[in-house]
Structure 1
Amino acid sequence: MSMSFAKALAPLSQRIPRVVREHEVLRVTSWMPGDDPSAIARRAVAEVLKWAQRRAGGQLPAEAWDGRSFEFFSGGRNSSAVRLQAGTSDIWAIRADDPDKTVPERVWTTEVVLGLLPGEPAKFGARLLVSTPEVNLPIEPHTPGFVQQVAAKCRLMAGSQAILSTASEFIDGDDPEALIDHLLDPGRVLPTFVLTLPDVASADTPLIDPKSLARAVLGLAHVVVAHPATSWQLTERFGRRLSVFGGAARVYLPGFDDGADPYRHRLILMGELASAEGLARAMRWLRDTAAQESVRRTRLGSDVLTFAAIRSAALELYQTSLREGAASESKQLSAAQAQIIALQSQIEALRSEQDYYVTEYQKERERAEVAEAQAQASAYRIQTISDQLKSVGGNPDQGIVLPTQWSDLDDWCDRQFAGRLVLTPRARRGVRKPEFEAVQTAAYCLLWLATNGRDQRINGGGSLSNIPVMNGIQNAPCGADTYEFDWNGRRFSADWHIKNGGNVRDPVRCLRIYYCFDEQTQQIVVSDLPAHRRTGAT
């Protein structure tokens, strides 16, 4: 009779120690402005040591306050610091352990690195890790308290933006472009959480508490409160699909622009915040997002230095000095053993990071596969319903009203042509403020593509080459103007376009809609509009 491994090992399970894994919770990477980087770094070290002292369970040694390397052991609340000076570079790092007060075997570890490099401002970095045998880790990430101390005493910058411990408010009368400039800033490296006020006359604060959220994600994300006038400016600038208003909240990730995918910059609707449970769930998700993005967007060894790597480098320098000073073999052996231990810790940190990225890749791949399957199923369902309606003499597109403003065009396409026609980010940017004036002409051409043009692609019924779409406008192959583009992780060729007649190059009168047909999703993919593209042929 066969027996599974699990059953065979069941009697021994109590004797087998549980596997303890180290998980990285969050990373803070920043720099500190000022004319005297050395003095600023010393001030920051002092703030970190004050924080470490409160958690140490004892008095830190004098070496700590002198800015030198030290080790302090106190019943699991251990602290170690390394000072690495090489040439004109000066790096100080500390690693502090703190057993969880309520969960057995869970240990929190904080690493902080401060660096001085010649000709550069002082660098500040921190990592929060947790070692635990728990399979699931039900925690709500929160930036360690010393980050707020350092931000208050020394100022911290992430990219081109200041790290603030309070939410920024954009109210009536403020520069309406300030928030837009912030979101579009290419130097913004942190997510921005925009909270808005409910559409109630008495509402003066968002549903999500901006103060507690700003403290929790300090150094991980920016928190902004947008009052109604600012929300309106966002809608005017980016359209409803990329805006946020009426008590909702939105996450604007770094790299956001006019053509961004709205689903990447998640919107939390007011309805999701209507209950205490919904508010708690949203707050937890925002904190998780900030922490996960901080790990996902930074790299160990470049953006963030680990304590193990710095200790290993310091031990290597020490070992070299021992050899050059003809130290005894016992001293050299002791230094070599310490360096081996440091290298093992460094390897473990890199292995942990690799495991994290592999896990994240698998999650993203599964989400992408599910999303693609759902999109295809939805498109098939839409097509089936449309065919059934047509078979009984109905017209699913009857009564469609063409938009009169370019700012409404992309939303209109999303609502009317879901599963049939899609605009790429470049196409969405093209309709922000084009010179071509006849918005309803372009809209009618898109309607033709989503209906007649697509139906002929799917069902056949004659050539689509050089056939009229409306008076003076025809559908034709791109010919020498064909070009390749990427969309949704795949490569396509824009080999067809809708164009108005004659050799028109005036952007006010010239219309071009470049597109292709995606056999896999059965959609028209519009790559660019409404201007004529500059190509090798033109």
Structure 2
Amino acid sequence: MSNSMIDALSPLASRMPRVVREHEVLRVAGGMPGDDPAAIANAAVGEILRWAQKRCGGQLPREAWQRESFDYLSGGRNSSCVRLQSGTSDLWAIRTDDPDKTVAERVWTTEVVVGLLPDQPAKFSARLLVSTPEDELQIEPHTPGFIQQVVQKCRLISGQKQLSVSPTVYETDADAEDLIDDLIDPSRQLPIFVVTLAESGQADHPTLDTAALSRAMLGIGHVALLHPAATWRLTDRFGKFKSVFGGAARVYLPGFSDDADPYIHRLVLANQLDTAEGAARATRWMQQLAAQESILRTKLGRDVLPFAAIRNANLKLRQQNLRNEDASASDQLAAANDRIDALEKQVASLGSEQDYYISEYEKERARAELSESQAQKSAYRIQQLTDLLKARGDDPDLDIAMPASWQELPAWCDEQLAGRLVLTPNAHRGARNPEFTDVETAAHCLLWLASKCRDQRINGGGGSINNVTIMDGIQNASCGADTYEFDWNGRRFSADWHIKNGGNTRDPTRCLRIYYCFDPQTQQIVVSDMPAHRRTGAT
């Protein structure tokens, strides 16, 4: 478009209203256990209504306190509530709008659902959304205040863990064991942010306000405060590359395990928290990560119920009741118009939500492409420097100490072979407590793969490594007919090579096999399985 055309249209563009988009900020989902679910649900509704009352700019109608459906309009601070009772199910849902006090045209929307189902604890879910014409939304996500009231008055459970307003403090070895159990719990749904103290006797981190952080992430993340004595047990269990200590902080995402990739569970070093500015950046990142994870790990319509779906179901039930009661045509028409109006609003909301998700997807894809490009450039530079060292007669791997046990092997790989060799989760599991006893031999083989074998593959010499002797009685060979496919990092690979010891033994205490392939994209050796012989059709 020519500059003259742009200049001609700019006055018109300035008069057009800015496009307002609705962004989902966070989701909270859980259960409220107790002997009397109805009483617990009623108490939770009361806390939510008292919170809404403070923000509505007036007085909620009488129907609100009778737990009935209502609509309250108050100059943008609007509230709508639906009570849907069908058979033995009872759903109470509210949607409130609250204009931002500092940013024009920014409106916060909160949706809450409290549900009763037969023979189940009371259900609770909430969504925080924001509508704004801003191109870039810069916020520090914080769960609404009523979450704290519900947690304190009604108890709220996420997965198997009860939510806590204050950070959970771990001081002793026994406390550390409890934390370890929480970290590796497969049913865990929320990230755990572990903040460590550098010195004994400290009550809190010198720069991170863990109490404020815990309140901000209540319902979307757990905050743990770890004393020095307890950090040793964490390091002993997971190794230093998966642990956290000395005043640092780390997030452990759901799905963490003994064989987890340590780089997925981000570590914030102690020197990054030395200043107030560094602590503020870390706090902002933690809150943003917890909010993003709450959206990624919950499913709308299953874990968290949207208000529009409940309102439409209620209007549909009302239409059916009017038809069954043979109500007047005008009453049925009014009900139909109400439902049409609600469906139109839902379609508009879904369109805005879809635009938001597409925008977030594009951002994540761009970040992923940039990260992958940077990783490849770093790998290329590391290879250049390694080649220079070797050209000068130095061997970077000469003084590497071998791991003394299988428990040390994963951390040893992360430290000594990072960027050159990676163990898949299946290989991690196989090496956790194998029957093959010689861990040092296995480590020497992995080091050979990360150095000589990788160098050959980078230089295009795949065939020249067939039947190569690595050490006495151990060879590298093609898998041949035993080649198999496996998935890693979202892609499909073929494990077409393996390291094996001689003697044709099947005794698992003496039989070593390391199945692997070379990934030309990341220029890494990918170990699919070890150290046992895989069961095949031939065996």
Does the alignment reach a TM-score above 0.5?
yes
For residue 115 of structure 2, give the secondary structure of its aligned residue in structure 1: strand
User: Structure 1 residues 266, 352: closer, same or farther in 2, change over 3 A?
Assistant: farther
Matches within 5 A, 1:270-419: 270-419=270-419
Counterpart CA distance in 2 for 1:425 and 1:202 is 39
Query: Where does the alignment leave 5 or more consecutive residues of structure 1 unmatched?
Result: none
Q: CA deviation at 1:5?
A: 5.3
Counterpart CA distance in 2 for 1:532 and 1:104 is 66
Q: CA deviation at 1:285?
A: 0.8
Number of the residue aligned with 2:489: 488
Number of the residue aligned with 1:469: 470
Question: Which stretch shifts more, 407-416 or 84-93?
Answer: 407-416
For residue 120 of structure 2, give the secondary structure of its aligned residue in structure 1: coil
Counterpart CA distance in 2 for 1:147 and 1:314 is 26
Does residue 67 of structure 2 align to residue 67 of structure 1? Answer: yes
Counterpart CA distance in 2 for 1:148 and 1:357 is 29
Number of the residue aligned with 1:143: 143
Deviations 1:295-330 (A, max 9, x none): 122222222111111111111111122222222222
User: Structure 1 residues 348, 507: closer, same or farther in 2, change over 3 A?
Assistant: farther
For residue 388 of structure 1, give the secondary structure of its aligned residue in structure 2: helix
Contact 2:22 2:353 in 1 (8 A): no
Q: CA deviation at 1:528?
A: 1.8
Counterpart CA distance in 2 for 1:414 and 1:186 is 23
Number of the residue aligned with 1:263: 263
For residue 126 of structure 2, give the secondary structure of its aligned residue in structure 1: strand
User: Structure 1 residues 4, 132: closer, same or farther in 2, change over 3 A?
Assistant: farther
Question: Which stretch shifts more, 158-167 or 513-522?
Answer: 513-522
User: Structure 1 residues 342, 39: closer, same or farther in 2, change over 3 A?
Assistant: same
Number of the residue aligned with 2:177: 177
| Runs of 4+ that moved beyond 6 A | none
For residue 14 of structure 1, give the secondary structure of its aligned residue in structure 2: helix
Number of the residue aligned with 1:529: 530
For residue 350 of structure 1, give the secondary structure of its aligned residue in structure 2: helix
Counterpart CA distance in 1 for 2:434 and 2:346 is 53
Contact 1:161 1:187 in 2 (8 A): no
For residue 492 of structure 1, give the secondary structure of its aligned residue in structure 2: strand
For residue 333 of structure 1, give the secondary structure of its aligned residue in structure 2: helix
Counterpart CA distance in 2 for 1:362 and 1:537 is 47
Deviations 1:17-61 (A, max 9, x none): 111222111111111111221111111111111111122222211
Contact 1:309 1:343 in 2 (8 A): no
User: Structure 1 residues 369, 441: closer, same or farther in 2, change over 3 A?
Assistant: same
For residue 82 of structure 2, give the secondary structure of its aligned residue in structure 1: strand
Counterpart CA distance in 1 for 2:452 and 2:131 is 60
Q: How many residues align?
A: 537
Matches within 5 A, 1:66-85: 66-85=66-85
Q: CA deviation at 1:109?
A: 1.3
Question: Which stretch shifts more, 275-284 or 461-470?
Answer: 461-470
Contact 1:306 1:346 in 2 (8 A): no
User: Structure 1 residues 246, 154: closer, same or farther in 2, change over 3 A?
Assistant: same
Number of the residue aligned with 2:202: 203
Counterpart CA distance in 2 for 1:127 and 1:401 is 51
Contact 2:200 2:228 in 1 (8 A): no
The one-letter amino acid of 1:481's match is D
Number of the residue aligned with 1:152: 152
The one-letter amino acid of 2:348's match is E
Q: CA deviation at 1:177?
A: 2.0
Contact 1:106 1:132 in 2 (8 A): yes
Percent identity, please: 66
Does residue 35 of structure 2 align to residue 44 of structure 1? Answer: no
Does residue 20 of structure 2 align to residue 54 of structure 1? Answer: no
Counterpart CA distance in 1 for 2:78 and 2:2 is 49
Q: CA deviation at 1:175?
A: 4.3
Number of the residue aligned with 1:236: 236
The one-letter amino acid of 1:383's match is Q
Counterpart CA distance in 1 for 2:503 and 2:353 is 59
Q: TM-score, normalised by structure 1?
A: 0.95
The one-letter amino acid of 1:536's match is G
Contact 2:98 2:107 in 1 (8 A): yes
Counterpart CA distance in 1 for 2:292 and 2:309 is 22
Q: CA deviation at 1:6?
A: 4.0
Q: CA deviation at 1:331?
A: 1.9
Matches within 5 A, 1:89-238: 89-198=89-198, 200-206=199-205, 207-238=207-238
The one-letter amino acid of 1:497's match is H
Query: Where does the alignment leave 5 or more consecutive residues of structure 2 unmatched?
Result: none
Counterpart CA distance in 2 for 1:195 and 1:229 is 13
Number of the residue aligned with 2:436: 436
The one-letter amino acid of 2:537's match is G
Number of the residue aligned with 1:498: 499
Counterpart CA distance in 2 for 1:125 and 1:285 is 24
Counterpart CA distance in 2 for 1:461 and 1:16 is 63
Deviations 1:381-438 (A, max 9, x none): 2222233333343333333332323333333333333433222232233333333322
Counterpart CA distance in 2 for 1:150 and 1:111 is 15
Deviations 1:451-507 (A, max 9, x none): 222233344396323332111211122234322111222111112111222233333
Question: Which stretch shifts more, 111-120 or 520-529?
Answer: 520-529
Counterpart CA distance in 2 for 1:423 and 1:237 is 19
Q: CA deviation at 1:224?
A: 0.9
Q: CA deviation at 1:276?
A: 0.6
Q: CA deviation at 1:8?
A: 2.6
Question: Which stretch shifts more, 155-164 or 353-362?
Answer: 353-362
Deviations 1:261-290 (A, max 9, x none): 222211111111111101111111111111
